[in-house]
Amino acid sequence: MTSHRRFKDAIYEQLARIAKGFSAPKRMELLDLLCQGPRTVEALAELAGLSVANASQHLRVLRAARLVESEKKGLYVEYRLADEQVSSVFVAVRMLAESRLAEIEQVTREYFGARDGMEAIASDELLRRAQRGEVTVLDVRPLEEFRAGHLRGALSIPLSELRARLDEVPRGRIVAAYCRGPYCVMSLEAVKVLRAKGYLAHCIEQGVADFRARGWTVMSEQEGPRP
């Protein structure tokens, strides 16, 4: 074997390590969840519908590919993305799949139906209007996800608390709700609640991973703004 061939084989072997991390449906879901913020193995297992043993196995593959990192915190092990580049690659893979695989559109349409009001306002225009204070942006994810990273200016009201905290949502202007991304239903449920109470509400289809990929400012309570 020539040195040229050995070099090529070695490089592509390492590239395949990264690809392996994205090669299982549940690992993709775990990466999507970790785009929202750090999680323990137990929390990830519950959210992804896995046993703790299976979640740990998938996380070991992701760690071997250097896509995630882990840290012992007391009795638990917490996982996080290795860096924001992993989040950007996840979004790129998702968008490539959406553009190339008609099955994704079909499954999404069957589940969400017409997705009324999902993207009534163009995202870039929404950001400009939100920064001017003309639109109330509502983050309806759990509080720990909001604290890990959220769109600048967003108001945190988790979906489970929305009905009890409606008086915190300003009336008289558009409310735009977002959650974890295009396959999350929390923002849809929030919009239903808001519209039933007379708000002019719409969904933002993107989530924090998309905001980062677009270069929007994402705030973290621990670290401050992150461009």
List residues with catalytic annotation.
179
CB 221 within 8 Å of CB 190? no
Other C-beta atoms closer than 10 Å to the C-beta of 222 total: 8
CB 38 within 8 A of CB 82: no
Backbone angles phi, psi at 225, to 5 degrees: -65, 140
User: What is the DSSP annotation of 135-190?
Assistant: EEEEE-S-HHHHHH-EETT-EE--GGGTGGGGGGS-SSSEEEEE-SSTT--HHHHH
What is the residue-wise DSSP string for 85-127? Answer: HHHHHHHHHHHHHHHH-HHHHHHHHHHHTT-TTTT-S-HHHHH
Contact between 174 and 201 under an 8 Å Cβ cutoff? The reply is yes
